[in-house]
Amino acid sequence: MKKVCVIGSLLVVLTLSLGGSAVSKGTDTGATYEQLRLFTEVLSIVQNQYVDEVPPKELIYSAIKGTLRGLDPHSSFLDPDSYKEMQVETSGSFGGLGIEITLKDDILTVVSPIEGTPAYRAGLHTWTEPKDFDITREQIRVHSVRSQDLGNGIAYIKLRQFQEQSPHDLDQALEKFDKNGMKALVLDLRNNPGGLLTAAVEVSEKFIDDGKLVVYTEGRVRNQNMRFSAHAKKGYSKIPMVILVNQGSASASEIVAGALQDWGRAMVVGTQTFGKGSVQTIIPLSDGSGLRLTTAKYFTPKGRSIHGKGITPDIVVEAPKDPAPKDRPLPSPDPMEDLKKDVQLQRALDVIKTMRLIEQQRPEGGQPQAQAPSPTQTTTR
């Protein structure tokens, strides 16, 4: 992988962390400063005449937040506490509810809960209408990889988030399965809201050939135009593979699913993904706060922008609606029992069986036929 920048992350969004900022050559600085006179005029009036006295820092912070809110749902201002918390989250340990949220059509919207957190136990997921929940915060430690041997040489790996340690943890799981004779893989990215761009690229490059494009970004400023290609020392580019996705699969998850789908490397099974295809730059500010600004969009290897649309699975399989929290059965002590009830996973296993049959029937020395064909929905937006 070509590492061209330092990477940071938020739980909900894919972010590129670049120190400093750049001013576009097309910016009319004269007009900008003229409008700043109006801003300072309003600020002075508020400070002197507003019914309650407001500290200057609070006024400035509110003004910055309002400016960014008017741009897009993913640009925002991080006060010093939020900025520090964001830096901690990349390690997989943080205080909170464990809920991934974003603004969609100016409405605060649930992307997905993190498995094993207060939000997950309360039964939160994307709703079509508002609902009330009482949830208590706690210290959350997210283990990004969970694995299970499904038998018959089929490995199951669930990737919950793309953290700093995720590629390493995935490597360990894959090596363990490989030693035990892994013949096929199901990679579960359902309810994975994303995370680090580098982690998404490092995960993708384990399953595609060296040198192949994983993702590229395009922005207004030249240093936001980047290409990330596979450069893995050891890969699993031939093993039959299925990726599971749903509406909670966002950002970095869509990069992985999109890259492997474009290269015909894996069949994608499940439901339409979230559709988060923009890149945010995290810029540290002088007082310890930070600016999260949308600076680019990313594209799959074949030039697809999934922003606002998501990735369409090769095989659409709807999951049964979750029961209300009070009616939800307790998890089985045997993980296999819960997996056997998973209709999307069971369909993935059917696909794996078909892939393996095709692989067995192909002529010796011929090209592998267990790879998914490129989807018909590979149009460029």
189 shares a domain with 97: no
CA distance 55 to 67: 19
Whether 371 shows a pLDDT value over 90: the answer reads: no
pLDDT, position 97: 74
Among 109, 114, 126, 107, residue whose Cα is nearest residue 321: 126
Considering the domain architecture, whether residues 194 and 336 belong to the same structural domain is answered as yes
Does 152 share its domain with 248? yes
Catalytic residue annotation: 251, 262, 276
Whether the per-residue pLDDT at 142 is higher than 70: the answer is: no
Backbone angles phi, psi at 252, to 5 degrees: -60, -35
Q: How confident is the model at residue 8 (pLDDT cuts 50, 70, 90)?
A: very low
Helix, strand or coil for residue 186?
strand
Domain count, the chain: 2
Instruction: For residues 250 and 351, state if they share a domain.
Output: yes
In 3D space, the residue among 269, 275, 230 whose CA is nearest the CA of residue 250 turns out to be 275
Average pLDDT over residues 45-50: 93
Q: How confident is the model at residue 82 (pLDDT cuts 50, 70, 90)?
A: confident
Residue 127 confidence (pLDDT): 74
* Same domain as 244, residue 134: no
Domain boundary at 125, 140, 155, which? Answer: 140
- 186 and 244 fall within a common domain: yes
Distance CA 189, CA 371 (A): 19
pLDDT of residue 110: 74
Residues 142-150, mean pLDDT to the nearest whole number: 87
Mean pLDDT on 296-308: 95
Residue 33 lies in a domain: no
| 102 and 162 fall within a common domain | no
158 in helix, strand or coil? strand
pLDDT at 276 over 60: yes
Residue 148 and residue 247 in one domain: yes
Which residue range(s) make up the domain with 112?
80-85+92-140
Does the structure show a pLDDT above 60 at 376? no
Q: Say what percent of the chain tops pLDDT 90.
A: 53
The reported pLDDT for the residue numbered 140 is 64
Q: Domain for residue 373, yes or no?
A: no
Provide mean pLDDT across the span 91-120: 67
| Structure confidence by residue, pLDDT tens digits, 160-217 | 989 888 999 999 999 999 999 999 999 999 999 998 889 999 999 999 999 999 999 9
The answer to the question of residue 252 being in a domain is yes
pLDDT at 29: 73
Q: Is 44 a member of any domain?
A: no
Q: Looking at the domain assignment, is residue 270 inside a domain?
A: yes
Same domain assignment for residues 194 and 116: no
User: Given this model, what pLDDT does residue 257 score?
Assistant: 98
**Mean pLDDT of all residues in 320-331:** 61
Please report the pLDDT score of residue 316 as a whole number.
97
Higher pLDDT, 19 or 300: 300
Residues 104 and 243 in one domain: no
Mean pLDDT of the chain: 81
Give yes or no for residue 102 having a pLDDT over 70. no
Residue 366 lies in a domain: no
Asked if the structure places residue 154 within a domain, the reply is yes
pTM metric for this prediction: 0.74
Q: Is residue 21 part of a domain?
A: no
The CATH number of whichever domain residue 175 belongs to comes to 3.90.226.10
**φ and ψ of 299, to 5 deg:** -135, 145
Average pLDDT over residues 89-102: 62
Beta strands per DSSP E along the chain = 15-17, 76-78, 93-96, 99-104, 107-113, 138-141, 145-149, 154-159, 184-188, 213-219, 226-229, 241-245, 267-270, 278-284, 290-299, 315-316
Distances (CA, A) of 270 to 142, 297, 331: 24, 24, 22
- Does 200 share its domain with 160? yes
What's the pLDDT at 88?
61
Instruction: Please give the pLDDT value at position 260.
Output: 98
Task: Verify that 249 and 132 share a domain, yes or no.
Answer: no
